[in-house]
Amino acid sequence: MRSRHEDVWIRTADPSVIGAVRRSAVALATAAGFGENRTGQVAVAVTEAVSNLVKHAVDGVVLLRPHVERAGTVELVAVDRGPGIADLARALRDGYSTAGTLGIGMGAIARMASGWDVHSMPGRGTVLVMHFTADGAPGPPLRVSGMRRPIGEESVCGDSFAFVDTGTAITVLLCDGLGHGGAAAHASREAVRIFLDDPEAPPAAVLERVHRGLSHTRGGAAAVARVERETVWFAGLGNVSGWIAHAEGRQGMISQPGIAGHQGRHPRQYEYPLPRHATVVLHSDGLTDRWDPAAFPGLFAHSPAVVGATLLREAGSRRDDACVVAVRQRP
């Protein structure tokens, strides 16, 4: 069972962030039990990635955190709005490095990481995701990722998510606490607590329990999705968007009107077929629902973390808390 409280996004407008992020990476690796040599590799790879953002990115931000899906793993998410990588194959070639960086190149960064993924669109920006394990082993394919960003300069996000992976299904809760700040965060975290009490019940039953349990809070919008190999079960109450997305388009999933904890009928559960290679996306109304998979060539062949970070960059609003979760189906 995994849940997420605060994700801290660091703007890379000032060179001082390079050392700060490196020190955070070392601290996370040490806390996860990494050896000295492996911790040094993490520090070098993170330093190079953040240096690239500082020197060349437009509106660059970086997120460093314990991995949401794998315990004992460190994850770095680097996002910018340009200029993009025109020739990714060349950038991964040994000996190629952007001027002014450490000079080890993206190919060397990729080899230091236990796993990595990158999606870049010239003129629109790049999302780079890396994760590091103590022994360097890549592990099985990643299936789920979620990330959050608070409104403006707030330090607390009113949106929360959690998920449970049973091996045959991944069940996700996303809750958008009503309003912003501490009271909204309390409501959404209470929803997470209730969800984790019995996450394997049918999604409508889980959401009904959340609906009743939030009556002592300000409430919020909430949705529960269960993703299996060929099917998605979805129950939503309020303005949480659920989508089945793939390279050719997307299908919306039905959320009933209301406010979890205060207004709304008994949640209803809907069943949807899941096409091969599809990604299930849930997000709060801190992301506009007008995004189009066709506008991001190749994106939905990438990892859930890259999908989530790209949608947060392209569809997220700075005038609201934002949360997005992406889930890939099992083969």
Torsion angles phi and psi, residue 178, rounded to 5: -65, 125
Distance CA 179, CA 45 (A): 38
Tell which residue, 39, 98, 34, 28, has the closest CA to residue 66. Answer: 28
The reported pTM is 0.93
| pLDDT value at 299 more than 50 | yes
pLDDT digits (tens, 9 = 90+) for 276-288: 899 999 999 999 9
Angstrom distance (rounded) from CA 328 to CA 331: 9
User: Closest Cα to residue 218, out of 244, 181, 164, 255?
Assistant: 181
- Kindly state the average pLDDT of the residues 296-321: 94
The alpha carbon of residue 296 and the mean position of all alpha carbons in its chain are separated, in whole angstroms, by 17
CA 93 to chain CA centroid, nearest Å = 28
Mean per-residue pLDDT over the chain, rounded: 90
pLDDT: is 72 or 94 the higher one? 72
Per-residue model confidence as pLDDT tens digits over 121-148: 888 899 999 999 999 998 888 999 999 9
The model's pLDDT over 215-250, given as tens digits with 9 standing for 90+, comes to 999 999 999 999 999 999 999 999 999 999 988 899
In percent, how much of the chain has pLDDT > 90? 76
**Phi, psi of 144, deg, nearest 5:** -150, 145
Domains assigned to the chain: 2-132 (3.30.565.10), 144-328 (3.60.40.10)
Instruction: Express each pLDDT in 14-54 by its tens digit.
Output: 999 999 999 999 999 999 999 999 999 999 999 989 988 88
Q: What is the pLDDT of residues 101-125, one digit of tens each?
A: 334 467 778 889 999 999 998 888 9
Whether 130 and 305 have beta carbons less than 8 Å apart is answered as no
Q: How far apart are CA 5 and CA 185, in angstroms?
A: 9
Residue 274 vs residues 60, 123, 266, 306, 325: alpha-carbon distances, Å? 34, 33, 25, 20, 17
Nearest to 287 by CA among 143, 147, 191: 147
